[in-house]
Amino acid sequence: MAYPISKLIVPPIFRLWLRKVNGLENIPRDGPFIMAANHTSYYETLLLPCIIIKVLNKKMHAWVNERYWNSPVAKFFLDLWKCIPVYLGKEKNLKEKNNAAFQSALVYLKNGEIMMIFPEGRRSTDGKLQKSYPGAAKLALLSKVPVLPIGVIGSGKVLPKGKIFPRFARCEVIIGKPIYFKKYYNKKINDRVLESATRDIMKQIGKMIGQKYNY
């Protein structure tokens, strides 16, 4: 992500819309990792990098829906932050493009950098956990790096879906202990293993925000 920009917006974010952060001691100080968080608001896409970068000052990347590159302003910042476009729907050469996105993430992790992923793939309109995609789990198993589960409470009230400006509300961020998937390393990566690893991630996030992951 863009560190000067992120550092400039840290103070107002912390003062105005963030009540507290728990678990900063759980952030791995050495080596790459994958941040995985629940997703109810665009606010999280700025908030979480600000928190992590303040602690580590490492390069961070994220998978982002390719449609946001259609906006020249968004495209400028997404490219500046070296975000990785992912493709949905009936996009031509969908499989090949998403495989390239996956390989880019692997390269960043191999270089000791951080990936931010919202496993649900979209914002939850009611704040409840949605069925998640296996991309974060697959990336963790292939790269053999830990997943840092993060629970965000109340961000949907700060910046609800469809709103442009934040409301006068505050959210809470809980950072869990890193999840290591060594028990899966000697197993063939198939749908069953990916589903199990995905549940491991989402159940930890659910515990932090007081919800059950029922998928």
The answer to whether residue 88 sits within a structural domain is yes
Closest listed residue to residue 173, CA positions, set 56, 1, 43, 58: 43
Number of helices followed by number of strands (H, E) in the chain: 7, 7
Q: How confident is the model at residue 90 (pLDDT cuts 50, 70, 90)?
A: confident
The pLDDT tens digits for 32-60 are 999 999 999 988 988 898 888 888 878 88
Q: What is the CATH number of the domain that holds 156?
A: 3.40.1130.10
The answer to whether residue 215 sits within a structural domain is no
pTM for the model stands at 0.90
The two tokens of residue 105 are 């993430």
Number of structural domains the chain divides into: 1
Looking at residue 85, its amino acid is: P
Tell me the residue range of the domain where 58 lies.
3-209
The answer to whether residue 155 sits within a structural domain is yes
Provide the mean pLDDT of the chain.
90
The answer to whether residue 214 sits within a structural domain is no
Question: In whole angstroms, what is the distance from residue 203 CA to residue 92 CA?
Answer: 34
Per-residue model confidence (pLDDT) at position 13: 65
The answer to whether residue 115 sits within a structural domain is yes
